[in-house]
Amino acid sequence: MPPSETAADWIDRPDALRDWLAPIPADAMVGLDTEFMRRNTFHPQLALLQLGWNGRHALVDPLAFDIGDALQPQLGAGPATTVMHSAGEDLETLAPLLPNGPHILFDTQIAAAFVGMGLGLSYRALVAELAGVELDKGETRSDWLQRPLTDSQRRYAALDVVYLQTIHEQLAERLLRRDRRAWHAEDCARLKQRASHRDGDAQPQRALRGAADWPVAQQTLLRRLLLWRERSARRLDVPRPWLLDDTLALNLAQQPPASLGDLEQRSRDQRALRSAQRSELFELLAPPVDDEEIAATARIPGHPQGEAKKALAGMKTLVDDLAGELDLPPGLLCPRKVLEEYVVTVEWPEFLEGWRREVLHDRLPGLLPG
């Protein structure tokens, strides 16, 4: 069927979704995608769920009913393979419905990287390469929370799952030929694990590398601030920077406010920081850090300098060479950011566990600066 004529069932009742799912075998391959909005909130708002199986397609309206009860038995717990493209944000969006993600995930973007097609390939590019079809990008910035959806929105949304089966078949075959199925499955499982972490990063200060040279007490206070921001943004459902942007967080950790009025003066530009949050934040900043809090705070890695910088160059060359031998993108094997942290902290990165450890652990440590 030509893309412009692709039909998809509109489902806005729980019984209709159960009926649509009923014929699907337990071990089927099911294509899945979402449309969500995240303009003014912390949590992504699920606006539409697209499903595809054996030439049948459905657009499920999560605004009309709770769709989780129907999805969990088949996709969350059953042996079905859920095929998605670049699933990270979709998994986060689906987390309230599928807390541990699909039981078996096949991410086509990750698979494309493992079979030599490049890192971060878009769904549109993958469809063009493997299905020979050019998809329209017309509804990319559409309002998916509006009802009713336009015919154009429905066609666009359906096409996001129409070609997943074709893509899956070709990529699965290429993974088999290259003996990369286990590596791909491991990275898909890791993607699910990241999406299921609903408490956020326990060491958020490590991302603000401009504070790497700060005294340990200030780094600890910065962590305290950022953990508060994470908890509060989730509870209030507002974007983190609306509550406390990075610039102000760094400023407050370096120079805590002398009074509530001082804090109010310095935080006027924070869109979601109201009087209740300011009072809470002021009280949070008042107590000095103690030894226990310092011990629980991971140090912020700085940028490689001197011998560490030379070691980084050697590691990058090694990774590039190995990636070439394995026909993998270097960024898939080991991103530069991971190497930078490794040469500074001299601690084996969590990112390099699993299949990457098998490839790299006998080679990288010998390049660390003496």
pLDDT > 90: what percent of the chain? 92
Q: Please indicate, yes or no, if residue 276 is contained in any of the structural domains.
A: yes
Are 89 and 226 in a shared domain?
A: no
Residues 262 and 358 in one domain: no
Q: Is 144 part of a structural domain of the chain?
A: yes
Q: Residue 281: which pLDDT band, with cuts at 50, 70 and 90?
A: very high
User: Are residues 334 and 227 both part of a single domain?
Assistant: no
What would the 3-class secondary structure string for the chain be? Answer: CCHHHCCCEEECCHHHHHHHHCCCCCCCEEEEEEEEECCCCCCCEEEEEEEEECCEEEEECCCCCCCHHHHHHHHHCCCCEEEECCCHHHHHHHCCCCCCCCCEEEEHHHHHHHCCCCCCCCHHHHHHHHHCCCCCCCCCCCCCCCCCCCHHHHHHHHHHHHCHHHHHHHHHHHHHHHCCHHHHHHHHHHHHHHHHCCCCCCCHHHHCHHHCCCCHHHHHHHHHHHHHHHHHHHHHCCCHHHHCCHHHHHHHHHCCCCCHHHHHHHCCCCCCCCHHHHHHHHHHHCCCCCHHHHHCCCCCCCCCCCHHHHHHHHHHHHHHHHHHHHCCCHHHHCCHHHHHHHHHHCCCCHHHCCHHHHHHCCCCHHHCCC
- CATH code where residue 278 lies: 1.10.150.80
Task: Quote the domain boundaries for residue 320.
Answer: 307-367
| Residue 204 banded pLDDT, cuts 50, 70, 90 | very high
pLDDT of residue 3 exceeding 70: no
Which tens digit of pLDDT belongs to each residue from 66-87? 999 999 998 999 899 999 999 9
On whether residue 75 sits in a domain, the answer given is yes
Asked whether residue 283 is domain-assigned, the answer is yes
The residue among 161, 196, 231 that closes a domain is 196
The answer to whether residues 264 and 170 belong to one domain is no
Same domain? For 183 and 222 the reply is: no
Residue 271 has pLDDT above 70, yes or no: yes
Whether 301 maps to a domain, the answer reads no
pLDDT at 5 over 70: no
Last residue within a domain, chosen from 152, 179, 196: 196
Domain identity same for 80 and 217: no
Q: Is there a domain that residue 302 lies in?
A: no
Task: Looking at the structure, tell me whether residues 156 and 227 fall in a common domain.
Answer: no
pLDDT of residue 138: 72
As for how many domains the chain has, the answer is: 3
Q: Which of 237, 266, 295 is the last residue of a domain?
A: 295
Domain match, 255 and 275 both:
yes
49 pLDDT more than 80: yes
In this structure, are 171 and 259 located in the same domain? no
pLDDT recorded at residue 199: 75
Say whether pLDDT at 157 is over 70: yes
In a domain, 300, yes or no: no
Does the pLDDT value for residue 197 go beyond 90?
Answer: no
Q: pLDDT value at position 6?
A: 66
Among 197-201, 243-247, 256-260, the least confident range: 197-201
Same-domain check for residues 114 and 169: yes
Is 169 in the same domain as 220?
Answer: no
> pLDDT for 295-354, tens place per residue?
999 999 999 999 999 999 999 999 999 999 999 999 999 999 999 999 999 999 999 999
pLDDT value at 137 more than 80: no
Question: Are residues 183 and 43 part of one domain?
Answer: yes
Here the CATH number for the domain that contains residue 140 is 3.30.420.10
- Does residue 340 lie within any of the structural domains? yes
Kindly tell me if the per-residue pLDDT of 7 is higher than 90.
no
